[in-house]
Structure formats: C-alpha cells, structure tokens
Amino acid sequence: MTSLATVYDRERERAVDPEQREDSGSDSELKLEKDGMSDTESKVDSGVPEVPVPPDDTPEVLNKALSGLSSRWKNWWVRGILTLAMISFFFFIIYLGPMVLMMIVLCVQIKCFQEIITIGYSVYHSYHLPWFRTLSWYFLLCVNYFFYGETVTDYFFTLVQREEPLRILSKYHRFISFALYLTGFCMFVLSLVKKHYRLQFYMFGWTHVTLLIVVTQSHLIIHNLFEGMIWFIVPISCVICNDIMAYMFGFFFGRTPLIKLSPKKTWEGFIGGFFSTIVFGIMLSYVMAGYRYFVCPVEFNNDSNSFQVDCEPSDLFQLQDYALPSIMESVTGWTTVHLYPFQIHSIALSSFASIVGPFGGFFASGFKRAFKIKDFANTIPGHGGIMDRFDCQYLMATFVNVYIASFIRGPNPSKVIQQLLALRADQQLHIFNSLKAHLTEKGLLFCAVLENWET
C-alpha cells in the first residue's frame, strides 16, 4: 500500500498553490475554483480527503425579502441583520451579569471546539479508526476541569474552604486532573491501529492544538472577566467594531488587496477599521468606567452567600486631568483634558484589536484554505460558524491577560489574607511576628500606634 507521505508528496507537486487562487468568499465562486482543477487535484491538497461544504442555511424569510438583490448586496444585508441580532444578544447577556457571561464563554468554547474537531473527524472517519471523537471530547472535559478548578480556587478561595467537598477537590485538584488526562492518554495508546499509526498521531496532535487554541484562550477570557467586566467587554467590543468597520470601509472604498490569504481584505478597510476602533474604544471606555458594575472585580460575599460586583473603584477608574501637548493645544484650544486612566489603556487595546487581532482571522483563513472550505460551519447565516466570529477574539484574550498582568495587576491583599487564614495557627503566628518585626524596623508600626492613640 502506498504510504500517505508518498501520496502527499506526489499530489503536492500537481496541486494548485492556494495563494495563487482568488478566494471568492462565496459558495458559487468556491465551486468554480474547484471546477478548474483536475479530479486528482480536487481530491487531495494536503494528503487528506477534502471536507464537504455545508449547505446555505439562510432563513427563507431573508431569502425571499432579498431575492431581487445581487449576491454581493444580499450577503451585505444578511450579514448586517445577523450582526445587529448578535449585538443585541450580547447586550442582553451583559445585563444578566458576569456568571451568565462565564457560562456563555463556556458554550462558545464548546461550539468552537466542535466545529474544528468535526473537520478533523471528516478526515479521520474515512479510515474507520476508533475512538477519535470520544477521546477528543474526553480531553476537552479534562482540560476544562483543570482550568475551571484553578480559576475557582484562585478567585473564590473563601467559598472553596467553606464547603467540604470543594475543599477536598481543591486540595487534590492537580492530581485528579493529571489522573484524568493520564487515563485518556492510555486510552489513546490502546486505540492505535496497525498501518494507521501516523494518521492517529496526527489526529492526536490535531486535538491538542485545538485545545491549546480554544480552551486555553477561553480560560484567559474568564480571568479577564473576573478582573472586572470592563476588561471583558471593551476588548471584545473593539474586535467586533474593527471587524464591522473594516468590512464597511472595504465594501465601499476597498481597492488595494491587503493579504493573499484573504483577497477580500483591503488596505482601505484595514486603515479605516483602525481609526474607527481607536475612537470607539476611547468612547466606550469613558461610558463604562463610570459604573461600578463594569469596573469592579467579581467576588463572593460570605454574608449574602452570593457573587457580587461592588467595590470602591481604583485610581484607574477615577477622572483625572491630563495636560495636552502644545501642538494639540494650538489646534483644539484646550490646555487639559478630563479622562479616565483606563481610556489611555483602551488605546493600547484598540490598537492591538486593529493591527494584530486580524491575524487571528488570517490564520483561520489559511486553515480553511488548507481544507478548501468557506467557513468552519454554517451556524450563523452570512457569517459562517461560531469559530469564524471568534477567531480574532481568542488572540485578543491572550493579549488582554498579558497586558493586565504586566501593567495593571498588583498584589491582591484579599487573596493574601485568604491564604493566611488557611494556614495552621503556629504558621499564622510566625508570619505575624515576622511582619511585626519588619514594620517596627521601618518605623511604620510605631507611627500607626501613635496615630491611633492621638485619635
């Protein structure tokens, strides 16, 4: 039997370079692209069978209402109507609070994982090899158990210590996570089939790369959310704004192609989206920074036995005066501006969403070209699958998490106290004496006692 590597090498020499073909962005143009290839070329481009294109599921109501328009304008209206619907749903779940947002993130993560794994299964299933989908979902369960367990222990330590089952699970969390993953690893080894070892290891890697891209990034989104909903809403909204405005500018003014992976992307759309997103990020940050509901971290209240979002806003969300450079002063006539410090940070978030964020979409475009598919799925008419809408969001989530850790977050006193309360009495006493000696040596303890006495 000819090996897969030999087939791949032979067909790669005859296959058409995907970068030399124009990516149509529509099912009909995609079909024309395939018709121009020989039978062998259309079957193999990367050594594996091609993934079938999902059918168009645009609602019949929209099809009838837009039947008189060209395909270009029909697609524009379908995308616009569904975009407004998704934005409305986004506002609704924000109203429901951070815990509902967390559940929505989990649902989106599962759906994105399913879309990518389905593509892999379309390839894998043709060889009738066992356990691939079962093991993929099992590993998803293991990784989510590990990440969500770490998050709950980190942010809601008081709740975990109060409940006996949670305390036991928290204490042995990493060992349980390792045991679960090890079980899946052994199941994979037992599933290996003769003559298909290479393909099975390829699919094993497929699953783990998908977990790295989807689950890890969604875990970072949850971390950003718990720091304050503003760190969740502003970055996501900036990516959405950039996607919409780049599409609008490209649709009406686009002339110059930006990148071969996505021929419909233009420099006009890229530049227009950049400036629009910067302005949008500054304005949205100004509106949200004035509300505690958006800026306070999510915490568990022992007294009310519930999660709450209430605090005294930090300096990051207090209005301050900033002096303008002389050039801007001469143009505007203002000497100072009244801004929240977070608005300055929003410029960095908006810039990343506009400049680097689209590369998540380019990466997804390259992936889809590899399998000759237009979208990951057809979940959202005019938009494709959930992964097609969140390919840039995952890259943005990582940046926001790194940005918070590098420039925003400092030591958290409440978490330190929680950890101290979990220690034995002799350990707490030792830390108390050490801290007392340190403060006395610096003269801080004496000053504090003197101030209390004078009061």
Long-range Cβ contacts of 270-275 (<8 Å, 24+ apart) = 270/246, 270/354, 270/358, 272/245, 272/246, 272/248, 273/241, 273/242, 273/243, 273/245, 273/246, 273/249, 273/354, 274/242, 274/351, 274/354, 274/355
Split at pLDDT 50, 70, 90, the class of 373 is confident
Instruction: Using the CB atoms, write b or e for 76-95: b if 16+ within 10 Å.
Output: bebbebbbeeeeeebeeebe
Quick: pLDDT tens for 1-46. Answer: 444 344 334 444 443 333 333 333 334 434 434 443 334 434 444 4
Q: What is the mean pLDDT of residues 424-439?
A: 85
Comparing CA positions, the residue from 383, 361, 378, 389 lying closest to residue 75 is: 383
Quick: pLDDT tens for 230-273. Answer: 999 999 999 989 988 998 899 889 889 888 888 888 999 999 99
Better pLDDT: 102 or 45: 102
Q: What is the mean pLDDT of residues 318-336?
A: 84
State the DSSP H helix or E strand holding residue 323, giving kind and residue range, or none if neither: strand 320-323
Q: Is the dihedral of CA 73, 17, 246, 363 positive or negative?
A: positive
Query: What are the beta bridge partners of residue 195?
Result: none
Q: Say how far apart CA 156 and CA 297 lie, in whole Å.
A: 12
Question: Does pLDDT of 99 surpass 60?
Answer: yes
Split at pLDDT 50, 70, 90, the class of 53 is low
Quick: pLDDT tens for 132-166. Answer: 888 999 999 999 999 988 888 877 777 777 777 88
Question: Does pLDDT of 411 surpass 50?
Answer: yes
Among 47-56, 172-181, 289-298, 408-417, the minimum mean pLDDT is found in 47-56
Query: What are the beta bridge partners of residue 308?
Result: 299
Cα separation values, 346 from 91, 229, 340, Å: 20, 14, 10
Better pLDDT: 118 or 14: 118
Enumerate the H helices of 172-260 as residue ranges: 173-190, 197-226, 229-253
Cα separation values, 47 from 12, 105, 336, Å: 8, 34, 62
Residues 6+ positions from 14 with CB-CB distance below 8 Å:
38, 40, 41
Query: What's the pLDDT at 350?
Result: 96
Among 27-36, 50-59, 317-326, 402-411, the minimum mean pLDDT is found in 27-36
Burial class for 190, CB neighbours closer than 10 Å (0-12, 13-18, 19+): exposed
- Residue 446's identity, in one-letter code, is F
- Residue 298's identity, in one-letter code, is V
Among 66-75, 91-100, 177-186, 282-291, the minimum mean pLDDT is found in 66-75
For the beta carbon of residue 187, count every other beta carbon within 10 angstroms: 14
